[in-house]
């Protein structure tokens, strides 16, 4: 059980229960002391741990309820109201649930927080107990908002135990045989322990952002964050206020391969600057790709143009007799530069195939995924100075995979950029923009392609690409009013000034701007406008051209008018995560030749649905709507009805244009509105160790009438 050694518990104060928590303790203490957050300094981290443990426990338990993992009994649900009636009963089930009596269940429910509406019951016969999960609200797609502490009841002793750390949950589930093997159980136990420690540490950063933003006066929320949180540019500032990681993933805050101290040095919540390094690769051993429609410049030429002095630094670093034109330059994350490059490419450095450039670096702000950075060319924070972002390889696992940059991404990104530009030229999407990836480079051993093996690993650890800066996209740059492209993840993050989700602050501003008489009316009008700028063009791209974007919260940037908080359009990044169904694309005379074994290539229409319908609706919109409904006490069912209207209008417009066959439009529409609908069960996937193979479950669909009825009404 690596990383989860149990320490003594001390009544009245939080103890450090896992190795991960102990590893982060000193770093947290130093960070607290440096920013004068608490006295004594260690108290801030200790006080943050219980909430972090509860949050990760809730994510794990939520995944068990929604994902129905193999090896676990189907969950049963009982409302608190029914337990208070004279006819209260326990849901049917086998042992140990069958040993539970109604009176005992009612007494356990009575100890739950007042906001608990129902209990989720999971029988664990291997552990000889029943899991009690207190649920405050059922949101769309059966996303449960949990409240309070998860507990277990053991019939043999009638003991109720509070599970105050998620590693306790993992141990119980492991006894059911729900993991693929003991090694996977230990792996998840360690990942979850690290997620707790990293989340507690990250939440200290929220207090630091709060002190900075408090100093900018009474600016509206967008201006306050953009001007108060240091970053390479205004858009990058919004990435820095997101501290909670993946909202659904049980290991959503894991950064395996990055120590707590390195997290402070390189993670966006803690720092606005890392120093990007550079490595040159003999062009005989490099794969260089570029988009024909984006100027046709190689990555190296773009780097030389943006970073004065880089070419001269390369000349000084080259072996005698070598010329700069013989080498391609790759931007490198400092972790990769100092750790991976000397180790993996030592022999190639010795013979001159790979040349680190030791006396040159450029400052950049890291984004949410750690490996994409926003260069700050000369300190002016102007996107004209450096008109691109850099996507780098890092030796760090977040969620399921190590975030290197594969030859698939290097090969496919510029190709997709060309295709997308052709589509935009034809269709002129009014509310959707795609951030181009016009050039990329990686080390590339002879004998390719390298879809796997040592050649693949050599390529993915020494690679980089450029992506268009969103501030220079026409949807931002050509607006006459002041606008901000805001990463959607930040909308559900707490605003440093108030501690409320940013979207709640924007709805208040939007309501004032359009003269709404009530918070609920303002929220519904905001949701309608928001859906109008994120949904229709993405459905058109899927239905007409067979391209499904991975437009989840982290990949979507919504462009807002600064004065009114009105959503204007959406920008989607990460072209490597899309799915393309060739048959639909070829109908328009377009094609992509993806790198061998690319996930980009969709086998059938269902692959398109799994990508777009999950990312946009179940991740992005579901999390946003749940936050709005909970924070503002708004009827969530009405929000989903508004979103459904936007979908219907989009499909009707696609039908009217005639660019897609009518039967295809009907299939796409029917699948989006199906009740129940298919859910990508991330927790179940992690229990089995699946990274690319989908594990699914059925959940209710709020885009259907029946699905909306399953959503809880507001508590007011």
The CB-side HSE value for 715 (13 A sphere, CA atoms) comes to 13
| Cα distance between residue 171 and residue 127, in whole Å | 9
**% of the chain with per-residue pLDDT over 70:** 96
Integer-rounded Cα radius of gyration of the chain:
26
What's the angle, vertex CA 19, arms to CA 13 and CA 22, rounded to 5?
Answer: 50
What's the angle, vertex CA 636, arms to CA 542 and CA 626, rounded to 5?
Answer: 75
DSSP state letters, 437-477: --EEEEE--SS---SSHHHHHHHHHSEEEEEE-GGGSHHHH
- Each residue of 414-467: pLDDT tens digit? 999 999 999 998 988 999 999 999 999 999 999 999 999 999 999 999 999 999
Model's pTM, two decimal places? 0.94
Q: What is the mean pLDDT of the chain?
A: 93
Alpha-carbon distances of 358 from 328, 502, 716, rounded to whole Å: 16, 41, 62
Q: What's the burial of 583, exposed, middle or buried (CB within 10 Å: 0-12/13-18/19+)?
A: exposed
Torsion angle defined by CA atoms of residues 352, 358, 359 and 362, in that order, rounded to the nearest 10 degrees? 110
Q: What are phi and psi of 347, to 5 degrees?
A: -70, -30
Tokens of 3: 């990383």
- Each residue of 90-135: pLDDT tens digit? 999 889 999 999 999 999 999 999 999 999 999 999 999 999 999 9
* Span 163-178, average pLDDT: 95
CB 466 within 8 A of CB 384: no
- 3-state SS, residue 384: coil
563: left (phi over 0), alpha (psi -120 to 50) or beta: alpha
Q: Which residues contact 143 (CB under 8 A, 6 or more apart)?
A: 62, 66, 622, 623, 626
- pLDDT score at 298: 97
Q: What are phi and psi of 562, to 5 degrees?
A: -65, -35
> H-helix or E-strand containing 537?
helix 536-545
- Each residue of 371-382: pLDDT tens digit? 999 998 665 566
| 475-673 is classed CATH 1.10.510.40 | yes
Query: What are the residue boundaries of the structural domains of the chain, listed by start?
Result: 49-215+675-716, 246-469, 475-673
Higher-pLDDT residue of 690, 1: 690
Interhelix angle 536-545/662-673, rounded to 10 degrees, is: 130
DSSP state letters, 314-350: HHHHSPTT--GGGEEEEEE-HHIIIIIHHHHTHHHHH
According to DSSP, residue 272 is labeled: S
- Each residue of 529-561: pLDDT tens digit? 999 999 999 999 999 999 999 999 999 999 999
Paired sense of beta strands 567-572 and 432-434, if any? parallel
């Amino acid at each position: 059980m690596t990383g989860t050694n149990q320490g003594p518990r001390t009544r009245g104060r939080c103890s450090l229960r896992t190795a991960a928590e102990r590893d982060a303790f000193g770093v947290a203490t130093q960070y607290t002391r440096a920013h004068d957050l608490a006295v004594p300094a260690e108290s801030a981290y200790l006080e943050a741990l219980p909430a972090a443990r509860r949050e990760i426990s809730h994510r794990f338990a939520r995944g068990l309820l929604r994902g129905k993992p193999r090896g676990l009994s189907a969950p049963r649900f009982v409302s608190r109201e029914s337990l208070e009636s004279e006819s209260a009963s326990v849901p049917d089930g086998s042992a140990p649930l069958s040993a539970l009596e109604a009176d005992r269940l009612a007494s356990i429910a009575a100890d739950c927080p007042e906001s608990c509406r129902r209990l989720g019951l999971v029988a664990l016969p291997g552990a000889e107990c029943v899991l009690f999960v207190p649920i405050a609200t059922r949101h769309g797609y059966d996303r449960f908002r949990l409240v309070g502490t998860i507990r277990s009841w053991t019939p043999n002793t009638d003991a109720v135990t509070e599970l105050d750390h998620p590693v306790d949950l993992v141990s119980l589930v492991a006894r059911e045989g729900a993991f693929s093997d003991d090694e996977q159980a230990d792996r998840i136990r360690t990942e979850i322990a690290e997620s707790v420690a990293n989340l507690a540490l990250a939440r200290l950063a929220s207090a630091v952002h709060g002190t900075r933003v408090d100093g900018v006066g009474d600016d509206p929320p967008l201006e306050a964050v953009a001007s108060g949180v240091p970053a390479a540019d205004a858009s990058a500032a919004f990435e820095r206020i997101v501290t909670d990681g993946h909202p659904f993933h049980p290991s959503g805050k894991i950064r395996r391969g990055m120590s707590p101290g390195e997290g402070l040095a390189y993670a966006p919540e803690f720092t606005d600057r890392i120093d990007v390094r550079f490595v040159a690769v003999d062009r005989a051993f490099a794969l260089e790709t570029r988009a024909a429609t984006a100027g046709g410049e190689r990555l190296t030429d773009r780097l030389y143009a943006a970073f004065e002095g880089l070419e001269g630094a390369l000349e000084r670093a080259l072996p005698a007799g070598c010329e700069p034109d013989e080498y391609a330059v790759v931007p490198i994350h400092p972790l990769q530069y100092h750790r991976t490059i000397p180790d993996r490419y030592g022999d190639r450095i010795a013979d001159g195939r790979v040349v680190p450039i030791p006396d040159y670096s450029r400052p950049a702000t890291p984004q949410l995924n750690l490996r994409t950075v926003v260069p700050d060319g000369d300190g002016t924070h102007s996107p004209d100075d450096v008109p691109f972002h850099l996507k780098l390889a890092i030796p760090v696992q977040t969620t399921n995979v190590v975030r290197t940059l594969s030859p698939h991404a290097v090969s496919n990104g510029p190709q997709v950029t060309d295709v997308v530009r052709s589509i935009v030229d034809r269709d002129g999407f009014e509310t959707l923009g795609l951030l181009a990836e016009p050039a990329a480079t990686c080390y590339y051993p002879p004998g390719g392609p390298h879809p796997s093996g040592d050649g693949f690993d050599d390529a993915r650890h020494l690679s980089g690409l450029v992506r268009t800066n969103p501030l220079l996209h026409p949807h931002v740059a050509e607006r006459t009013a002041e606008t901000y492209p805001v990463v959607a993840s930040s909308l559900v993050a707490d605003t440093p000034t108030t501690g409320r989700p940013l979207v709640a602050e924007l709805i208040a501003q939007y309501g004032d701007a359009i003269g709404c008489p009530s918070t609920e009316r303002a929220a519904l009008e905001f949701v309608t406008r928001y859906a109008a700028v994120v949904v229709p063009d993405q459905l058109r791209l899927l239905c007409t051209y067979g391209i499904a974007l991975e437009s989840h919260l982290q990949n979507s940037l919504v462009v807002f008018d600064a004065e009114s908080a009105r959503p204007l359009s959406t920008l989607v990044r990460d072209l490597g995560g899309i799915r393309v169904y060739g048959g639909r694309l070829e109908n328009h005379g377009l094609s992509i030749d993806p790198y061998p074994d690319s996930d980009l290539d969709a086998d059938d229409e269902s692959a398109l649905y799994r990508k777009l319908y999950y990312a946009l609706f179940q991740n992005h919109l579901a999390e946003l709507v749940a936050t709005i409904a909970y924070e503002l006490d708004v009827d969530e069912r009405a929000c989903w009805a508004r979103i459904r209207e936007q979908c219907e209008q989009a499909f009707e417009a696609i039908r009217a244009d005639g660019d897609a066959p009518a039967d295809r439009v009907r299939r796409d529409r029917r699948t989006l509105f199906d009740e129940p609908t298919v859910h990508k069960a991330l927790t179940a996937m992690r229990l089995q160790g699946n990274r690319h193979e989908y594990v699914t479950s059925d959940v209710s669909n709020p885009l259907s009438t029946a699905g909306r009825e399953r959503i809880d009404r507001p508590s007011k």
